[in-house]
Amino acid sequence: TDIFEAGLNYTGDFNEVHLEAALTGEWGDSDSALINDISAWNAGVLVGYAGFSVAGSYGDWQDSTQLVTSTADDSDYWTLGAGYEQGPFGISVTYLDSSYSDNDLNLVSFGADYQVAPGLVPYVEVNVFDADEAGTTVDNDGTVVLAGAQLTF
């Protein structure tokens, strides 16, 4: 209950260098004395130059929504990605490392798109992941392929 969210964003250009930065936070009260309150934040930055861009982020959920009696580590994640755009064509690669209640997720995402016409951008994305559940031998590996088109008008 009583969830509060706030964020700050910045976008600017310095000569030929493009910069974007963001900082967000979320706080809330749990209805149960057995569940921790929400206290989370995220920070990210993107730097672009001559069609190339590099971006990264870090987020920390601390012990939000976990049982008060939990001995699990705080939950957090980080990302790092790079991309290139030239005319109507774009490619990117991103890495995600996430931990929640000692469960781990690693993901690598490759993407490509091409603007065929104004408002029509077909794309393909390949995601390779590895998810490990804490305290078990369960290991979930896989690959997800997405293909589609973004239509705007």
Tell me: the pLDDT tens digits for 71-81? 777 789 999 99
- CB of 84 within 8 A of CB of 51? yes
Question: Coil, strand, or helix at residue 24?
Answer: strand
What is the CB-side half-sphere exposure of residue 76 using CA atoms within 13 A? 11
Residue 47 pLDDT: 98
Mean pLDDT (the chain, rounded): 92
pLDDT of 112 over the 80 cut: yes
The pTM is what? 0.85
Q: What angle do CA 81, 116, 85 make, to 5 degrees?
A: 25
Residue 74 pLDDT: 76
pLDDT of 15 over the 90 cut: yes
Give the pLDDT band (50/70/90) at residue 107. Answer: very high
- What's the rounded Cα separation, in Å, for the pair 6 and 38? 13
Q: Record the tokens describing residue 120, joined without a space.
A: 């029509």
pLDDT of 66 over the 80 cut: no
pLDDT in tens, 21-43: 999 999 988 888 888 888 899 99
β-bridge partners, 14: 17
- What's the rounded Cα separation, in Å, for the pair 61 and 30? 14
User: What is the DSSP-derived secondary structure letter of residue 119?
Assistant: T
